[in-house]
Amino acid sequence: MSEKTITRQDLPSPRYEYGGDDWVFVELAEEMSFDANFKAQAITQEIRQNSLEGLIEVAPSNASYLIQFDPNVLHPDELIDELKSLEEEIDVSEYQWEARVFDIPVFYDDPWTHETLMDFRERHQDPDATDLEYSAELNGFDSVQAFIDHHSGAPHMVTMIGFVPGLPFCFQMVPHDEQIEVPKYEQPRTATPSRAIGFGGAFTAIYPVPGAGGYQLYGRTPVEVLDIDQELSAFEDSMVLPNPGDILNFRQIDRDEYDEIRSEIEDGTYQYNYDRVEFEIQAFFDDPHGYNEQLLEVLD
Amino acid sequence: MRILDGGLVTTVQDTGRYGHYHIGMPPSGAMDQFAHKVGNWLVGNDESDATLEMTYMGAEIEFEEDTVFAVTGADMDPSLEDEPIPTWTAVQAEAGDTLDFEFATEGARAYLAVAGGIDIEPVMGSRATYTLIGIGGHEGRSLEEGDELSIGESSADTNELLGTSIDETDRPDYSQSEINVVMGLCDYRLTDEGRQRFLDADWKVSDEADRVGYRFEGPDITDMFEEREQPFGAGTDVTNVVDLGYPVGSIQMAGQPIILMRDAVTGGGYVTVGTVVSPERDALAQCRTHSTVDFNAVDVEEALEIRQERDDLLETIQQSL
């Protein structure tokens, strides 16, 4: 029996750390939770709005955030004092934002990620299984399909963009006891196909470009999450598709649909299926499954 | 100007592309900001104008018009029309002249600044090349034979600049082997003995050392970490944390230490244990493969002093020109 609500987490006192002379790193929790992420989003949004002189970069991450500043203008201790007072002021349950809900078609167990993961079996915990088989078994699912059904059965929130431009880290919007968790590869791969759907820790990632990676590989999406020339619809404002706080709904598709979408992407005619919603934390925490269903109605 | 030979790796760089870390965009820009800035000043440019960054083996370049230029950073014995020319000095090239370089004898990266700067349309506010996704610089990639780069209009009186030079004493020493770091970020994951071993060891710069990161070889670090029950979402390895942002200059412990440089990934799930003080990221960028460095822990006030000393030196140099 799963919980019907998401329990609020009491976060520990944040750790304020110096990154050399020009960065400050703030860890809100060692453990991932919606509370930690929403707090990171709320504080970084606030600090952007306060436009403190000397700020260079403000980057929220899953359960922490990172700030780069010019120490000639702003002393790190002054910055930390400011962050501490923000931390005390912010009430996450009052925080709400406009999120976009995206349909992200996924061809699970596709031939490209399959070939890659087979090439790197010697770096894997279970060389005799595929990444999907390993993850399904580790999380107590009877079959790979049951695992895929779970992964695509509830939406995921983008909790961080990073690693490379446009790579979303996504945290599934379900109560803690329904979250899946898997280890990363024992040693990172040197290759990952672009648009691969990976999973590590408690996060799904979409790799925008080919490159190294340590997440388990489950499939491939035909849609782009990075468009540096901003030619595709949905990239009008930015070369990266989702922002932190946006919601991705992974939908299982077959090879035919994959190829169809791919050709529309390649000739620039593909229309992303997405819409805007006002995301309310308390409503989501009170009834996540009901709230998710309501969110996904905008994709119909 | 025309590229006759791209050398080993030559890219257009500037002071960097800032404000996009939250979408996963690293700053890129010159790995040795000191040499880049001084090169620009020598030819009357703004410090943010674009220069060429050349690694280990410089490019061969033909100037298509009369150009004042300066070569700074690593010593690659530059010659113009086969005549050796001084480095850290403004030099005149005439239309048709060829500039070429030998293999670096000291340092790893040289900078070529030209009066007027390299004229390329900026991408997201910068001309810096970021090759991973292919943006900035010349077509988002390293330069190759046949590439042509335009040079901007110089607002300086270039005749007056000729022969201007930086005092020997103000030029960096690229044999520096001590790198100052502020320990922290997630260094609570190291055991006390592990932290000590990290600071005591000589670390050799491995073959994998580029604009993305410097990987080091040294003592085994696998038992340097505190055992714990891993927090939810981090992954199972003791070196895993819930994916977080990585400062440029931070030291990541992934098997062996990796220092993240200006084209690095902006975040991930490996534990970071400290950050190189900003001016010493320039020094590290000049550390050659197979050289050894040792890390010296300083506190944040000392780090700020080190930065201040570098800024004072830059100011002195700028005022002397």
Structural tokens at position A66: 């990172």
A71 contact residues in B (CB cutoff 8 A): 304, 307
How many CA atoms within 13 Å lie on the side-chain side of A33? Answer: 20
Which chain A residue has the Cα nearest residue B185? Answer: A17
Q: How far is A280 from chain B (nearest CA, A)?
A: 23
**Separation between Cα atoms, residue B241 and residue B170, nearest integer Å:** 42
pLDDT at B255: 79
Cα separations (Å) of A218 from A132, A195, A252, A258? 6, 11, 11, 15
Asked whether the beta carbons of residue B267 and residue A162 sit closer than 8 angstroms, the reply is yes
pLDDT digits (tens, 9 = 90+) for B157-199: 888 899 999 999 999 999 989 999 999 999 999 999 999 999 9
Structural tokens at position A77: 């201790």
Average pLDDT of the segment spanning A148-159: 98
B310 contact residues in A (CB cutoff 8 A): none
Closest CA to A170 of A151, A191, A146, A192: A151
Q: Confidence class of residue A13 from pLDDT cuts 50, 70 and 90?
A: very high
The residue behind tokens 């070529």 is B112
A203 contact residues in B (CB cutoff 8 A): 233, 243
Average pLDDT of the segment spanning A5-23: 95
Asked whether the beta carbons of residue B247 and residue A238 sit closer than 8 angstroms, the reply is no
Q: Confidence class of residue A3 from pLDDT cuts 50, 70 and 90?
A: low
Structural tokens at position B296: 């010296």
pLDDT digits (tens, 9 = 90+) for A211-245: 999 999 999 999 999 999 999 989 999 999 999 99
Check whether A2 has a pLDDT greater than 60: no
Type and span of the H or E element at A136: helix A131-138
pLDDT digits (tens, 9 = 90+) for A54-106: 999 999 999 999 999 999 999 999 999 999 999 999 988 888 899 999 999 99
Contact (CB, 8 A) for A209 and A196 = no
- Please tell me which of the candidates B235, B255, B267 has its beta carbon nearest to residue A200: B235
Check whether A29 has a pLDDT greater than 70: yes
Contact (CB, 8 A) for A215 and A181 = no
- In the chain, the amino acid numbered B44 is G
Contact (CB, 8 A) for B221 and B194 = yes
Average pLDDT of the segment spanning A119-147: 96
- Please tell me which of the candidates A33, A76, A208 has its beta carbon nearest to residue B300: A76
Average pLDDT of the segment spanning A259-264: 98
Closest CA to B255 of B209, B212, B290, B219: B219
Average pLDDT of the segment spanning B110-133: 97
B133 contact residues in A (CB cutoff 8 A): 164-165, 208-209, 226, 228
Q: How far is A241 from chain B (nearest CA, A)?
A: 10
Asked whether the beta carbons of residue A164 and residue B268 sit closer than 8 angstroms, the reply is no
Structural tokens at position B301: 């006030």
Q: Confidence class of residue A51 from pLDDT cuts 50, 70 and 90?
A: confident
Which chain B residue has the Cα nearest residue A67? Answer: B247
Phi, psi (rounded to 5 degrees) for B263:
-105, 15
The residue behind tokens 């269903």 is A293
Q: What is the DSSP string of A34-83?
A: HHHHHHHHHHHHHHHHHT-TTEEEEEE-SSEEEEEE-TTTS-HHHHHHHH
- Please tell me which of the candidates B237, B245, B278 has its beta carbon nearest to residue A65: B245
- Please tell me which of the candidates A162, A165, A201 has its beta carbon nearest to residue B235: A201
Share of chain A above pLDDT 90, in %: 92
Q: How far is A20 from chain B (nearest CA, A)?
A: 5
3-state class (DSSP) for residue B198: helix
Asked whether the beta carbons of residue B234 and residue A68 sit closer than 8 angstroms, the reply is no
- In the chain, the amino acid numbered B84 is P
Per the prediction, chain B carries an average pLDDT of: 96
Average pLDDT of the segment spanning B22-27: 98
Structural tokens at position B260: 């993240």
Bridge partners, A196 (sequence order): A220
pTM assigned to the model: 0.96
The residue behind tokens 């201040």 is B308
Q: What is the DSSP string of B124-154?
A: TTB---BTTTTBSTTTTS---TT-B-EEPPP
DSSP state of B20: -
Structural tokens at position B189: 């994951």
DSSP state of B211: S
Q: How far is A25 from chain B (nearest CA, A)?
A: 6
User: Does B122 contact chain A (CB < 8 Å)?
Assistant: no
Check whether B95 has a pLDDT greater than 50: yes
pLDDT digits (tens, 9 = 90+) for B216-226: 999 988 889 99
pLDDT at B156: 86
Per the prediction, chain A carries an average pLDDT of: 95
**Separation between Cα atoms, residue A148 and residue A277, nearest integer Å:** 26
How many CA atoms within 13 Å lie on the side-chain side of A278? Answer: 5
Q: How many CB pairs under 8 A join A and B?
A: 193
Q: Which residues contact A90 (CB under 8 A, 6 or more apart)?
A: A39, A42, A43, A46
pLDDT at A1: 39
